[in-house]
Chains A and B, each alone.
Chain A
Amino acid sequence: MTLKPDDAAASLNEIAAVEQRTRQTLSYARSSAAFILWGVVVAIGYGFGHFFPRQAHAAWLALFAVGFAGCAILVMRRPRHAGIARLDLRLLYAQLVLYAYGWSFVALLSPTPRQLGVFWPNVFMLGIVIAGLWLGRFFMLCGLSVTALSVLGFFWAGDWFDLWMAVANGGGLIACGLALRRMGEHG
Chain B
Amino acid sequence: MSGPNEIIHQSMRLKIMAALNVLAPSAALEFTRLRTLVGATDGNLGAHLETLAEAGYVAIEKRFVDRKPQTRIKATAVGRRAFAEHVAYLREIIDRDGQ
Contact = CB atoms under 8 A, between A and B. Distances in A.
Interface of A: 1-5, 8-9, 11-12, 14-15, 18-19, 21-23, 25-26, 80-85, 185-187
B4 interface: yes
B9 interface: yes
A32 to B, nearest CB: 14
A12 B24 contact: no
Interface of B: 3-4, 6, 9, 11, 14-15, 18-19, 21-24, 26-28, 33, 36-38, 72, 74, 87, 89-91, 93-94, 96-97
Given A80-B24, A185-B33, A18 B6 contact: no
19 contacts: A1-B9, A2-B3, A2-B4, A3-B90, A8-B93, A11-B9, A11-B90, A12-B94, A14-B15, A15-B18, A18-B15, A18-B18, A18-B37, A18-B38, A19-B22, A22-B22, A81-B74, A84-B23, A187-B37
A25 B20 CA distance: 13
Contacts of A1: 3-4, 6, 9
Main secondary structure of the interface of B (DSSP, over half): helix
A25 B37 contact: yes
B42 to A, nearest CB: 15
B79 to A, nearest CB: 14
